[in-house]
Chain A
């Protein structure tokens, strides 16, 4: 058997962080606005991320309308289309997914799940949110700047990102880079907090190998982000210099619309290396928290321990480490030395092994479980389908020679949306349905939740599954219209209309979700402290929603791992982590 359930007495007690007077809220403003409580910061992060996410949603509608009915809408010019796709991508990856998983879920769950009173640096944590908000505002400002936001594509490849053939070359790109720089500064403040809190502020008995996988996922993702974001930070500063001061970090000698420019000696491929050294870990910065959260959702709602906990932890860590040596698989046809292809294809496909282990362990957790098909569980199951689908198409694109025909086609768009768009978003929704009762004290409406799930899941699959085949045919991405192409049959246009119809439907279904969030806040069924009968510490707080300081007078003591569900001989089908061994069954 396992050694994940070592005795609490063997563990080193956590250091209690000294109480700081300034930290306690005294007025409405310090309780809800300039607040240092991680739970409030989490909600601020989440609401901001969802608000800017709605912008990205509307942008996706507009670009889908253009692709289905090219030229039919006077308000979508080609420049607009490129600005829409750029902003949609950037918002979704950075300002929504990263911020929501780490700033939202991370802030709310880490202190509660490890049994801490709060993050270890509450003031820095608060600053982190305000700088994030500033980054979002700078991003939004670029929509109103002369020339509009940048339309360079979310990868911002130079030279075009700063040359006049690209929309938003005047103000848009400068604001974009400034916003990214701010985001990274804000994130670093939050990220250091999450890492130090996990390492230093775990309560007595909460060994690393007893932590819920949610914490493992968020923790590993944060460590990765702290290592990956600096590459993007440096790259953004360098590009700003190229744009504003005339340096040539990324600029070889080039011509801009016929006239020779005073640049020379720089390397555009250097940007690609720096961008993807950040960009590939970024995929897992989004995926690992999703892996962690979905593990806990599946385990809780199947009333069964997560299968192969230790393997799951090591898989998270291995994926995190490997993801730093695969970045150039985004650059197989960039013109870098083609011999790099051998190395990066091999490392990329090796990642499939720990990732597959995680998938097996999720479905094996269902095996011989007691599956409650609650809304969070439905989203978790939907995640498995879309993640397996999107992960497997990654094996096409990672396998260097297969990537050659498929790169820069709609196959790539379909792949990354399925694997790092749809799949993590399903987990975010599942997570919100799961933890909303703890955050607000009320349940989200079940009927609306099921409606939301089925439209979102089936709709998203209908959008992105057929899209792969357009890419196989050779339809390139980043074309605002296909025009006449001999190799593209007219049926492809019909498929584009179908995809757009599905996209509009899925988008509209999100309004149901937002309605549910607002309505249930006042009218939802009262939840009680532990509506899902879960074992982890956040469900064992003395108050629901948890009060400032989380735990009342005494910190909880942890006696067992996070997955004591359906323990033979136990009175209930779950044993909370803070229940002493004498009253629960020995594991």
Chain B
């Protein structure tokens, strides 16, 4: 009796915790509201299943607990019931998977108008690179990395000369415009993670990975590393500032290009 009650109380406690807990998503700042919606759908379906199974179990524990003279029923199978349960489960799974895959197809389809910029990870700091006036990101390789060229840009590639390089400073993005983030690491695996944007992606050394999003409100958001990258992992922080168009252009004018950064040292 008490035991059945404890199992039932676990369900009630879990539901109360879910609705009363102060720990929930951070307020979203990107277009990926659909991801939150899919999580909510999943919470409802899984919540109902959890409640039903555990309450059924606790009812059985109460109703069929051993008592003098009780004999269990003998029922090896009930194919009809088993198939019905399997089919209902399959529908429940489909109800979560279908919206999930729809949103995923948006996630993997980068809009044509998205502007590109690059995030570079190294132990343990974030750097950024934006295309210059010509709109091209120049080539790069870890072998070019030096104190003068911390991002490893190819010094002989003319299309890289006008690239805007941001080291040890905040990244700015214009609000409301889709961006394609290109991610590159020059040492180990990192992961570009801004909780408010929902989307995240690994920086895989040897590859250039990507994802896209549209910032939907202005503000300053923290960048964390979500791919374990060694001892300084928790200190690998940065900021992304989402500006309105005027502020963004003002910021952009103040940034230096790769050529400007490396020029004084060539002389």
Q: Are B222 and A487 in contact (CB under 8 A)?
A: yes
What sequence of 0s and 1s flags, for each residue 1-28 of chain A, a beta carbon within 8 Å of any chain B beta carbon? Answer: 1101000000000000000000000000
B3: chain A residues within 8 A (beta carbon): 373, 378, 381
Complex interface: chain A residues within 8 A of B108 (CB): 338-339, 341
Given A395-B96, A405-B200, A163 contacting B23 (CB threshold 8 A): no
A136 within 8 A of B: no
Complex Cα distance A258/B142, Å?
10
Contact: B222 with A485, CB < 8 Å? yes
CA A267 to CA B205, docked complex, whole Å: 8
Minimum Cβ distance to chain B for residue A267 (Å): 6
| B204 touches A (CB below 8 Å) | yes
Q: Measured between C-beta atoms, what is the minimum distance from B68 to chain A in Å?
A: 10
Contact status A373-B26, CB under 8 Å:
no
In the complex formed, the residue of A with least CB distance to B58 is A381
- Residues of A342-391 at the interface with B, using a CB-CB cut-off of 8 Å, are 342, 345-346, 349-350, 352-353, 356-357, 359-361, 363-364, 366-373, 378, 381, 384-385, 388-389
CA distance A325 to B188 in the complex (A): 27
Contacts of B141 in A (CB 8 A): 253
Could you say which of B17, B206, B233 has the most chain A C-beta atoms within 10 Å of its C-beta?
Answer: B206
Distance between Cα atoms of A392 and B24 in the complex (Å): 18
Q: Interface-forming stretch among A40-48, A285-293, A421-429, A462-470?
A: A462-470
Binary per-residue interface labels of chain B (187-220) against chain A in the complex, 1 for a CB within 8 Å, 0 otherwise? 1110101011011111111110100000000000
| Cβ of A412 to closest chain B Cβ, rounded Å | 10
By the criterion CB–CB under 8 Å, are B75 and A153 in contact?
no
A357 near B89 with CB under 8 A, answer yes
Q: Contacting B54 at CB < 8 Å: which of A310, A385, A485?
A: A385
A353 touching B189 in the complex, CB below 8 Å, given contacts A395-B42, A461-B10? no
Asked if residues A165 and B188 are in contact (CB atoms below 8 Å), the reply is: yes
In chain A, positions 507-539 with a C-beta closer than 8 Å to chain B are none
Asked if B64 is at the interface of the complex by the 8 Å CB criterion, the answer is yes
Whether the Cβ atoms of B72 and A465 lie closer than 8 Å is no
Binds B, one of A54-62, A112-120, A561-569: A561-569
Quick one: closest B residue to A396, CB to CB?
A: B42
List of A residues within 8 angstroms of B266 by Cβ: none
Alpha-carbon distance A480/B86, docked complex (angstroms): 43
Is residue A167 within 8 Å, beta carbon to beta carbon, of the partner chain?
A: yes
Task: Evaluate contact between B226 and A407: CB separation under 8 angstroms.
Answer: yes
Chain A, residue nearest B196 (CB)? A487
* A160 with B85, Cβ < 8 A, contacts A393-B46, A476-B224 known: no
B104 within 8 Å of A by Cβ?
A: yes
B186 and A388: CB pair below 8 A?
no
A404 to chain B: which residues have CB within 8 Å? 32, 35, 107, 198-200
A266 at the interface (CB under 8 A from B): yes
Residue among B34, B76, B200 having the largest count of chain A Cβ atoms under 10 Å: B76
A253→B140 CA distance, assembly (Å):
12
Residue A481 is within 8 A (CB to CB) of chain B in the complex: yes
Cα(A151)–Cα(B229), bound, Å: 10
Q: Which residue of B lies closest to A406 (CB)?
A: B39
Name B75's contact: one of A167, A307, A372, A482 (CB within 8 Å).
A307
Interface assignment of B97: CB less than 8 Å from any CB of chain A? yes
Name the interface residues of B139-166: CB closer than 8 Å to any CB of A.
141-143, 145, 147, 152
Measured between alpha carbons, how far is A461 from B195 in the docked complex, in Å?
26
Are A356 and B89 CB-contacts (below 8 A) given A384-B57, A388-B50?
Answer: yes
Which residues of chain B are within 8 angstroms of A2 by Cβ–Cβ distance?
76-77
**Contact of B90 with A by CB under 8 A:** yes
For the complex, give the distance between the alpha carbons of A349 and B92 in Å: 10
Query: Does A163 contact B230, Cβ atoms closer than 8 Å?
Result: yes
> Which residues of chain A are near B201, meaning CB under 8 Å?
333, 335
Give, as a whole number of angstroms, the nearest-CB distance from A465 to chain B.
6
B interface residues, tally (CB under 8 Å): 98
Residues A565 and B198 in contact in the complex (CB < 8 Å), given A366-B61, A371-B64: no
Are B231 and A79 within 8 A (Cβ)?
yes
Bound-state Cα–Cα, A472 to B78, Å:
40
Q: Are the C-beta atoms of A487 and B195 separated by less than 8 Å?
A: yes
Docked-complex contact A481 and B205, CB < 8 angstroms: no
A544 at the interface (CB under 8 A from B): no
B5 to chain A, nearest CB (A): 13
Q: Does B261 contact A (CB under 8 A)?
A: no
Flag whether B133 is at the interface (Cβ < 8 A): no
- CB of A308 within 8 A of chain B? yes
A446 at interface (Cβ–Cβ under 8 A)? no
Q: Is B267 close to A, CB under 8 A?
A: no
Q: A165-B123, A307-B77, A370-B64 are in contact. Are A356 and B71 (CB under 8 A)?
A: no
Q: Which residues of A contact B203 (CB under 8 A)?
A: 335
Interface presence of B38 (CB below 8 A): yes
In the complex, per-residue mask of B51-84: 1 if CB is within 8 Å of any chain A CB, else 0: 0011011001100111000111111111001100
B100 at interface by CB-CB < 8 Å: yes
A277 to B65, CA, bound (A): 43
Instruction: Check A492 for interface membership: any CB of B closer than 8 A.
Output: yes
Given contacts A157-B189, A345-B97, contact A353 B228 (CB under 8 A): no
Indicate whether B7 reaches chain A with its CB closer than 8 angstroms. yes
Shortest beta-carbon distance from A364 to chain B in Å: 8
Q: Mark A485-510, 1 if CB is under 8 A from B, else 0.
A: 11101011001000000000000000
In the assembled complex, which residues on chain B have CB atoms less than 8 Å from the CB atom of A370? Answer: 64, 66, 70-72
Contacts A308-B77, A404-B35 supplied; 10 other A-B pairs, CB < 8 Å: A163-B188, A258-B145, A260-B145, A307-B76, A335-B201, A349-B96, A385-B7, A401-B38, A407-B200, A474-B195
28 A-B residue contacts at CB 8 Å? A82-B231, A157-B228, A159-B187, A163-B187, A166-B230, A254-B188, A255-B152, A255-B187, A269-B204, A308-B78, A311-B77, A341-B104, A345-B104, A359-B53, A366-B57, A367-B60, A369-B73, A370-B70, A371-B61, A381-B61, A401-B38, A402-B39, A458-B6, A469-B21, A470-B23, A476-B225, A479-B233, A485-B224
| Chain B positions near chain A (C-beta within 8 angstroms) | 3, 6-7, 10, 14, 17, 21-26, 32, 34-35, 38-39, 42, 45-46, 49-50, 53-54, 56-57, 60-61, 64-66, 70-78, 81-82, 85-86, 89-90, 93, 96-97, 100-101, 103-105, 107-108, 122-124, 141-143, 145, 147, 152, 183, 186-189, 191, 193, 195-196, 198-207, 209, 222, 224-235
